Structure 1
């Protein structure tokens, strides 16, 4: 594993891919605002999470809540939203399709 953060979910691999999102570039996990636990996706949180999903409010976008599964770098929410195509620390590519689901995580 490239990081030391626990990531919960279904069939989570070493780079935070899961049963739902498992392409080469699916390598982030998001710390859910409601429970403070990293999950690879909203579906994993729905299946094994706290049962109280809440999105991150805009005033908390300076919090570290996105984990690069390749190197373990924690990104601030705004940093991730500004450069969602790759990790600023290791340049590992992220799935640009994740932006379609950002409303499930961030206000």
Structure 2
């Protein structure tokens, strides 16, 4: 049985855009290392989770932790960090997300 992951936080549409990041390219959610829950962004986690966020350690970047909001494919962190668009559906990812990488992924 294939189950669609639940996205938590202040989403605004079915492609995981949120009240903080809602451009056409903002179509991913990140599974947080601390709780295993998908959120559209770090601000959604801060506002709705009952605990502080934790970064994914480098040695765990092989874990599926990125959800494409266009096709709902789950990608590993390594894959996500090495592509410009979804390898499953070719939806482009927001290149500006790299500026927030340290909120999610450790060195």
Fold conserved between structures, TM > 0.5: yes
Per-residue CA deviations over 1:19-66 (Å, capped at 9, x if unaligned) read: 000011100000000000000000000000132210000010000000
Contact 2:16 2:27 in 1 (8 A): yes
Q: CA RMSD in A?
A: 1.1
Name the counterpart of 2:36.
36
Contact 1:32 1:54 in 2 (8 A): yes
Aligned mates of 2:52, 2:29 — CA distance in 1: 18
Structure 1 residue runs of 4+, over 6 Å off? none
Contact 2:11 2:40 in 1 (8 A): no
Q: 1:90 and 1:13, CA in 2 relative to 1: closer, same or farther beyond 3 A?
A: same
Name the counterpart of 1:52.
52
State the number of aligned residues: 104
1:101 partnered with 2:95:
no
| Structure 2 runs not aligned, ≥5 long | none
TM norm structure 1: 0.93
1:4 partnered with 2:4:
yes
| Structure 1 runs not aligned, ≥5 long | none
Aligned mates of 1:97, 1:51 — CA distance in 2: 26
Aligned mates of 2:65, 2:11 — CA distance in 1: 21
